[in-house]
Copies of this chain bind each other. A is one copy, B any other.
Amino acid sequence: MMITLKQLAEQSGFSIRTVRRVLANQPHVNPEKRRIIMELAEKNCYVPNMAARSLRLQQKNCVGVLLEDFSQNASVNKLNALDAALVEKGFCPLLGRITPGAEAECEKMLSTWAGVAEYVVVFPVADNLRINFFQKLNKQFPLKFIFVDCDSTDLQYCVPVDRVGSVRNMVLALAEMKYKHLLYCGSLLTRKKGIEEAEKENLPLKISCLQAGSEFSDGENAGEKVLASGADAVFFDTDRAAAGFYRFAAGRGVRIPEDISVVGFDNELYSDILTPPLASLAHPEKEIAERILQIISGDETEKTPLKMRFIKRKSLKNM
């Protein structure tokens, strides 16, 4: 099935060393012999065995990627950007998942990564981080974990994303756009803190809060209260919740953005497809991938938290 150097050596009549020289493009080989060996290798589709190579060189060219959720929270966008960056540098992404409640399976999986991967990138659903579990992993496995978008400083490597500051900046931007009254509808800590940071600025913008969940149905169910608030703009925990509000609005004949403007969070794949396109805070996928590669390459220079991008779309006025 898989031809080896040794077999190539036997079949060609030359030694392993010479065959190796040819296949590794090293000098000091008789051109004629080189040609013969090259042909033989191509004919037999020689491909080096990665397991043997890793073992011998003591180098691991896989990078583990751990996702909590394949369908939400724009994690797929991050995976996409990271995958592209990894492959470009010759690394192979090993895909895994952390399912809350299935920690044992996760550990089993990680143990099969030892020896082929050195780093493991973890994309946790933030605000939902089980720090203890990750710290245990950090100690238990001969793997270097890189935690993305996670505030703890105890963990070996981190790619911090400043959600709080990004929310704050978004609020400032809304104030600049002459909005009068912003309602925050949600319950996630980072969003709340960002709102509070913005409040400290004494903006000419009234800010009020409505406690609600972060799912589609939460946004839909909060609809009446959102309207009752009299706000001219509403910010939701997630694009999902914002999409729920869209449905409520459609049912009630509420016009977006004429009656009320809407901002979501995560910039999901569908945000642009909704009508009107939903303004949202986008994760800096590219920059995250870059940082991760810096860490893996050993030149970890930048440590400042990354910012999210405020994507203005037609769910805001004058877009």
Contacts and interface: CB of A to CB of B under 8 A. Distances in A.
Interface of A: 1-3, 45, 47-55, 60-62, 65, 70-71, 76-77, 79-80, 83-84, 87-88, 90, 92-97, 105, 108-109, 111-116, 139-142, 216, 240, 243, 246-247, 250-251, 268-270, 273-275
A95 B45 contact: no
Contacts of A2: 114-115, 142
A264 to B, nearest CB: 11
Give the one of A87, A88, A96 with max B CB within 10 A: A87
Contacts of A270: 268-270, 273
Contacts of A275: 246-247, 250-251
Nearest to A2: B142
Contacts of A50: 51, 112-116
Contacts of A240: 273
A70 B61 CA distance: 22
Contact of A55 (B55, B61, B112, B251): B55
Contact of A49 (B47, B115, B268): B115
Contacts of A3: 142
B76 A92 contact: no
Contacts of A109: 87, 92
Nearest to A239: B273
Contacts of A115: 2, 47-53
A45 B139 contact: yes
A116 B114 contact: no
A55 B216 CA distance: 49
A139 B44 CA distance: 10
B111 A48 contact: yes
Contact of A95 (B52, B93, B116, B142): B93
Contacts of A49: 55, 114-115
The 4 closest A-B pairs by CB, nearest first: A270-B270, A49-B115, A70-B80, A2-B142
9 contacts: A45-B139, A45-B142, A47-B142, A48-B115, A49-B55, A70-B80, A83-B97, A116-B116, A270-B273
A66 to B, nearest CB: 11
